[in-house]
């Protein structure tokens, strides 16, 4: 590769192109073409979240793309928050539409009019559904593959409940699902309760999962929103309780976008290319025959290995002719394949295979006896090593800062004491170029003084310059 990861922005753009994830040359800015390898990664991620959703009694749906403007505008905060990001359709052929149609930026306003028809009594609750679709947002900033795009591959779960307490239980379930999901992505994260001015439009509160890219800039990769009854009152989603009284449902949402792939690329990759966690890698193991002599024997043994391994793992036999083993090694390292198996005449003679880990680049030999079990253990070790290594790197990018100059001089995320005021948050942003990410969800209060005004406070927060 031409660029080093130390030049993160150029490296990131180059690796996505060279690894064959997306083609950015589509003639609409911010709308990229998913290439086969990138789409295979996305589909593996989709299947992981599907299984987690099904295991927690969610059902999958698929709602239409277009939302009538009168439905979109019912929740005032929502239309105000998303109004400037919406793509509108106002004609059908040559005929002006009576009501303009929005391309969904998210699906609350598409789903909730239908929820009001589906839900009648407490027996219809909880309602727990999800969909994996594309959403559209008119992004005006500089676009960046996966991180800031106009057409977004998006998972969203929506739930309805009898009470606020039940909705809160759902948020806790979402957080548990999120933890399991990120273990499979080998991604570290912080959970931050967004300040009121930065919460999702129409939410009672928002929890964001932020990771930190190697550039030091945080990236939001997941969100959970508690709506209380804000949307159900706007869309008249009511139910009859057991005692015959009527009430509005309580609602939550949980979302993950293709940004998760951007985080995987940025956090795990190195100067050789991608490093993919085995859980999501389209090819977990690539087999490269080392054909220097005894060609027929080596190819026969390589095919035998492939037939055995492919029954258990996602595998590829690279038997391309006219390419050297070195070229093949480079190619599969670029694509981030977790484990490479090499087999040549000496390996066959000694009844071994040579394995090379993508995460550490270390090579070792494995005896052919029970080798399937052994390489399975190596893949598990790779997954765990990637998770631990990424977490350590993220923690290194977080600093306890005591004044504005420390924040300004630090290329990372800062943990500070904060009084909670908007004025102090604005002063932080004006002086440092960073802003309040939120209050950490799972950390104890720490007594201190607001970094800006000096007021006594038990509140800490994270500060950073997000993508």
pLDDT digits (tens, 9 = 90+) for 130-171: 999 999 999 888 889 999 999 999 999 999 999 999 999 999
CA separation for the pair 233, 246 (Å, rounded): 12
The residue range of the domain holding 422 is: 398-464
pLDDT value of position 82: 80
- Our count of domains for the chain comes to 3
Q: Are strands 59-60 and 127-136 parallel, antiparallel or unpaired?
A: parallel
Final residue in a domain of this structure, among 313, 347, 379: 379
* Helix 36-55, helix 164-185: angle, nearest 10: 140
Strands lying side by side in the sheet with 460-464 = 59-60, 127-136, 151-161, 250-257, 218-228, 205-212, 190-193, 435-440, 460-464, 413-417, 398-400
Residue 1 lies in a domain: no
Is the omega angle on the peptide bond into residue 126 within 30 degrees of 0, that is, cis? yes
pLDDT computed for residue 81 by the predictor: 76
Domain endpoint, select from 350, 379, 408: 379
- Considering the domain architecture, whether residues 171 and 246 belong to the same structural domain is answered as yes
Query: Rounded mean pLDDT of the chain?
Result: 96
pLDDT in tens, 274-327: 999 999 999 999 999 998 878 999 999 999 999 999 999 999 999 999 899 999
pLDDT for residue 100? 95
Structural domain ending residue among the three candidates 234, 268, 302: 268
CATH number for 161: 3.30.930.10
Distance CA 60, CA 263 (A): 26
Residues 344 and 411 in one domain: no
Contact between residue 462 and residue 428 where contact means Cβ atoms under 8 Å apart: no
Q: Are residues 121 and 179 in the same domain?
A: yes
CATH number for the domain spanning 412: value is 3.30.110.30
**CATH code of the domain in which 325 resides:** 3.40.50.800
Percent of the chain with pLDDT strictly greater than 90:
92
Q: Over the stretch 17-54, which tens digit does the pLDDT of each residue have?
A: 999 999 999 999 999 999 999 999 999 999 999 999 99
| Same-domain check for residues 192 and 65 | yes
Over the stretch 168-197, which tens digit does the pLDDT of each residue have? 999 999 999 999 999 999 999 999 999 999
Statement to judge: residues 180 and 56 lie in one domain: yes
Q: Considering the domain boundaries, does residue 388 fall inside one?
A: no
pTM here is 0.95
Domain presence at residue 276: no
> In the predicted model, what is the mean pLDDT of residues 453-459?
95
């Amino acid at each position: 590769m031409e660029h080093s990861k130390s030049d993160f922005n150029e490296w990131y753009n180059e690796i996505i192109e060279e690894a064959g994830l997306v083609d950015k040359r589509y003639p609409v800015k911010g709308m990229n073409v998913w290439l086969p390898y990138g789409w295979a990664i996305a589909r593996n991620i989709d299947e992981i979240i599907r299984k987690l959703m099904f295991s927690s009694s969610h059902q999958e749906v698929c709602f239409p793309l277009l939302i009538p403007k009168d439905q979109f505008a019912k929740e005032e905060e929502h239309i105000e928050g998303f109004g400037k990001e919406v793509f509108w359709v106002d004609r059908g052929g040559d005929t002006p539409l009576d009501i303009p149609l929005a391309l969904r930026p998210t699906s609350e306003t598409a789903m909730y009019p239908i929820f009001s028809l589906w839900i009648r009594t407490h027996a219809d609750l909880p309602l727990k559904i999800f969909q994996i679709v594309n959403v559209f947002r008119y992004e005006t900033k500089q676009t960046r593959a996966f991180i800031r795009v106009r057409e977004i591959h998006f998972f969203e779960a929506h739930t309805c409940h009898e009470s606020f307490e039940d909705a809160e239980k759902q948020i806790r379930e979402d957080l548990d699902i999120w933890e399991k999901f990120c273990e499979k992505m080998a991604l570290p994260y912080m959970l931050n309760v967004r300040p009121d001015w930065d919460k999702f439009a129409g939410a009672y509160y928002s929890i964001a999962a932020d990771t930190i890219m190697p550039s030091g800039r945080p990236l939001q990769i997941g969100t959970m929103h508690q709506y209380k009854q804000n949307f159900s009152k706007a869309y008249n989603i009511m139910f009859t309780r057991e005692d015959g009284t009527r009430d509005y449902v309580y609602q939550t949402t949980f979302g993950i976008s293709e940004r998760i792939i951007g985080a995987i690329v940025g956090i795990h990759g190195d100067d050789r290319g991608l490093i993919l966690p085995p859980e999501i890698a389209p090819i977990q193991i690539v087999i490269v025959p080392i054909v220097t002599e005894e060609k027929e024997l080596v190819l026969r043994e390589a095919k035998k290995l492939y037939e055995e391994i492919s029954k258990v793992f996602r595998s590829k036999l690279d038997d391309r002719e006219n390419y050297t083993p070195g070229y093949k090694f480079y190619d599969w390292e670029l694509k981030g394949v977790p484990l490479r198996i090499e087999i040549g005449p000496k390996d066959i003679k000694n009844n071994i295979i040579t394995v090379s880990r993508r995460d550490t680049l270390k090579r070792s030999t494995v005896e052919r006896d029970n080798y399937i079990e052994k390489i399975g253990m190596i893949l598990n070790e790779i997954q765990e090593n990637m998770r631990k290594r990424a977490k350590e790197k993220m923690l290194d990018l977080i600093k306890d800062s005591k004044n504005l100059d420390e924040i300004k001089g630090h290329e990372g995320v800062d943990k500070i004491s904060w009084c909670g005021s908007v004025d102090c948050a604005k002063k932080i942003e004006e002086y440092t170029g960073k802003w309040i990410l939120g209050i950490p969800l799972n950390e104890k209060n720490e007594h201190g003084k607001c970094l800006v005004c000096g007021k006594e406070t038990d509140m800490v927060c994270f500060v950073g310059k997000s993508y």
